[in-house]
Amino acid sequence: MKQRVELRNHPVELYKFRLRLAISAGFVFVLFLFLYARFYYLQVIQQEHYHTLAEANRISILPLVPNRGLISDRNGKVLAQNYSAYTLEVVPSKIQDLESTLNELAAIIEITPTDRQRFRKLLKESKRFKRLPIKNRLTDVEIATFAANRYRFPGIEINAQVYRQYPEKEIVSHVIGYISRINDQDLEQLESSGELHNYRGSHHIGKIGVEQSYEKQLHGVTGFEEVETDAAGRSIRVLSRTPPIPGNNLILTLDLGLQEAAEIAFGDRRGALVALDPNNGEVLAFVSKPGYDNNLFIGGIDQENWSILNNSIDRPLNNRALRGVYPPGSTFKPFMALAALELGKRTAEYSMSDPGYFSLPGVSRRYRDWKPGGHGRVDLHKSLVVSCDTYYYSLANDLGIDNIHNFISQFGLGSKTGIDIEGEASGLLPSSAWKMRQHKQKWYAGDTISVSIGQGYNLTTPLQLAFATMIIANNGKAYLPHLVKQIQNSQTGEVEDIPAKLHYSLNLTPKNLEVVKNALVDVTRPGGTAAKAGANAAYTFAGKTGTSQVVGIKQGERYNEKLINERHRDHAMFIAYAPADDPKIALAILVENTGTGGSTAAPIARQVFDYFLLGTLPETDPAHLIEPIQDHAHDHL
């Protein structure tokens, strides 16, 4: 059988081949068309965008942190300054095994347990930071050692930093405050206020005191530097530079010499002193004892020092002058006396017999005077000079609590003064409405008796007492207390004065004011409760002693200091101004757990006045002025 031979149709095959070739060519053409379109899009349409990205890879924008403004006292003595040093910093995001890397680093540079504790604390609090310090203020040897081994530690860098320093440490720590590492809470606040962009590259911010309240003035304006880098990220050259603007300098109203004089006069005692210029509200001295070394907080305080400060029974971190609230004791009486005269409840001539106690009508309980047997016949003048409690018990019952509150609140007691640093406590000047609101109880006549001598619900700060004393000294003018006197522009050197702000003026009857002021002068003369402090003074000063009760004394018992724990003993108080005829300084003093104001607080005031008015430095042991604490009953119910 013959095999059949199949004949090919060449035209058809050629057509199919050409069709497949055309389809393939079309497909390739479309691909090239898409590729061309993509190239055109990237290189023409998106040219500017990708050019910017390329430049960004080549150019780094580095923030330039401004130098922080300096802080000095009114005489130019530096209280906060800057210095440069090198810091070893860690970039956690670039390190896989952080603990192992730190161990290797510790083999060539000493990393103490304290350094590690501080680093871990910062790492926990500042998760959004790219760089965190592991060791501050490197020595030249440490810098050279790390430079030689740098290739072994990617993610660890040496950077120059400007550090803050507080030369006076404890003496002004509560006024100046401190700067410390910016944490996440600070970042959130900066972001919400629109200031975050100005803190790029900054690691510190003011936390308390003047450093916090004047942060915007002190920080300055961050600059920028455009730097060309190579593929390894190393800088090649600087393309452009916008220099930072340093923060402005602050000149405070404080007199450092006066501050030091007060510190010496206090010795080792705990307490507070605030001295104001009654003519403008400038704060001349602002003491809180004990203080603390604010330098400890700059790089982040270590756990050991934090525990010492935070757990100390003396509470050195507590700003007693600004936030400490205490019953004002008998320093409250001058304001009660003014209320009596201004509201017509007493005249200067009115007198009463003081048997040593006072009883409300129909009530058997006796409210005792500090002097057993009383003071005999007492008028308003004598009531202040000898600090007669009975006179004020009777007066308070006639005035009523709401008259007392409404009148005395004009002197700033029980409310913030408005000083230019944050954290001020309000204190408390009670009223019937306050008690109902706070305790859901009505006000009783016995409550008023306690208030009359600065006890009971009464709470004031030393700053408030100094403010109220200033108002008496300058015949009713209430200036806002302020700590910053001038601001110096860091670029031009021009100095801007911070003007005194008259908050308000009280319309006090001159005759009534004169009666009270004359009595306050006699408090410091023979027969007065501060006579020893006023003895042989080359000037005349006015004042009022007070004793602030810490624990209550039962009815029928007498105060005996020897039987009371030292921390439960009364606080000594004193308010004063000098010279009496032309006041240049008004102050309030609190000395904790040391007894009566006349024996402890008034002598400290005398030494402060002597320095301010005469230039006489206090003795390191002021025992020649301070009387031993007497065993007697005083200001107790």
Please give the positions annotated as active site: 330
Phi and psi at residue 469, to the nearest 5°: -65, -40
User: Between the CA atoms of 28, 34, 35 and 39, what dihedral angle is there, to the nearest 10 degrees?
Assistant: 160
DSSP state of 377: E
Q: Which tokens belong to 131?
A: 């760089």
Can you give the C-alpha Rg of the chain in angstroms? 37
Q: How many helices (H) and strands (E) does the chain have?
A: 22, 23
* 8 A C-beta contact, residue 592 and residue 266: no
DSSP state of 579: S
What Cα–Cα distance (Å) separates residue 5 from each residue in 8, 9, 10, 12, 566?
Answer: 10, 13, 15, 18, 130
* 8 A C-beta contact, residue 252 and residue 70: no
As annotated, the binding site for Zn(2+) includes: 354, 369, 375, 388
User: DSSP of 408-439, one letter per residue?
Assistant: HGGGTTTS----SSS-----B---HHHHHHHH
Instruction: Identify the CA nearest to 416 among candidates 483, 454, 468.
Output: 468
Amino acid at 328: P
3-state SS assignment for residue 245? strand
Question: What is the spatial distance between Cα 250 and Cα 255, in angstroms, rounded to a whole number?
Answer: 14
* 8 A C-beta contact, residue 249 and residue 72: yes
Question: What is the spatial distance between Cα 288 and Cα 273, in angstroms, rounded to a whole number?
Answer: 7
Helix axes 510-522, 333-342, angle to 10 degrees: 150
* 8 A C-beta contact, residue 428 and residue 416: no
Question: What is the spatial distance between Cα 570 and Cα 327, in angstroms, rounded to a whole number?
Answer: 10
Left (φ > 0), alpha (ψ -120 to 50) or beta: where does 529 sit?
alpha
Residue matched to tokens 């998760």: 127
Amino acid at 187: L
Strand bridging mode 156-165 / 178-181: unpaired
Question: What is the spatial distance between Cα 203 and Cα 475, in angstroms, rounded to a whole number?
Answer: 48
Question: What is the spatial distance between Cα 612 and Cα 585, in angstroms, rounded to a whole number?
Answer: 8
* 8 A C-beta contact, residue 548 and residue 590: yes
Q: Which tokens belong to 67?
A: 């130098």
3-state SS assignment for residue 247? coil
Q: Count Cβ atoms within 10 A of the Cβ of residue 351 and give its class: 0-12 exposed, 13-18 middle, 19 or more buried.
A: middle
